């Protein structure tokens, strides 16, 4: 048995082969992940039923086992609510943050750098998130 917070075997395998600048996608329950699969991506379906598992729970788990240096979300229409973006920012802390036009965002998911797509049961709109994997720093490398 693993002693890490995340024990899903497919997720752990995909993260283990995700080096610096690889992309990990946390998808809401509405993203058509079958149409988003890139040449190097593995898809994991965690959307057992609406609301289970939610995107924030998955993000918390990923952050416990994988360094993240950047995040991208889809631009929302001015009239839409995307409070989940604020929750993402709070969990992610000091990482680069970007918003991308809808179709460009979909193309980014299909990029060869995407190694993992995790579909959640998240029901909030505009909850799709692309994470850029960072570098595991040595203890003596804290200065950069």
pLDDT of residue 107: 97
Bridging pattern class, strands 68-74 and 129-133: antiparallel
**Residue 73 to residue 56: CA distance in whole angstroms:** 14
105-142 pLDDT, tens per residue? 999 999 999 999 999 999 999 999 999 999 987 766 66
pLDDT of residue 57: 96
pLDDT of residue 5: 86
Q: Which residues contact 79 (CB under 8 A, 6 or more apart)?
A: none
Question: Is 1's pLDDT higher than 70?
Answer: no
pLDDT of residue 73: 98
Residue 4: pLDDT band (50, 70, 90) is confident
Bridging pattern class, strands 114-119 and 23-27: parallel
11-48 pLDDT, tens per residue? 999 999 999 999 999 999 999 999 999 999 999 999 99
Q: H or E stretch including 45?
A: strand 42-45
54-109 pLDDT, tens per residue? 999 999 999 999 999 999 999 999 898 899 999 999 999 999 999 999 999 999 99
pLDDT of residue 144: 55
pLDDT of residue 143: 60
pLDDT of residue 3: 80
């Amino acid at each position: 048995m693993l002693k890490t917070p995340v024990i899903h075997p497919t997720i752990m395998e995909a993260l283990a082969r995700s080096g610096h600048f690889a992309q990990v996608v946390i998808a809401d329950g509405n993203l058509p992940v079958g149409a988003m699969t890139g040449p190097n991506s593995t898809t994991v379906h965690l959307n057992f039923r609406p609301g289970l598992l939610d995107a924030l729970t998955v993000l918390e788990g990923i952050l416990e086992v994988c360094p993240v240096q950047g995040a991208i979300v889809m631009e929302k229409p001015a009239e839409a609510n995307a409070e989940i973006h604020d929750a993402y920012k709070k969990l992610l802390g000091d990482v680069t943050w970007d918003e991308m036009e809808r179709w460009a965002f979909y193309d980014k998911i299909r990029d060869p750098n995407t190694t993992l797509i995790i579909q959640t049961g998240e029901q909030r709109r505009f909850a799709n998130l692309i994470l850029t994997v960072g570098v595991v720093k040595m203890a003596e490398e804290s200065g950069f």
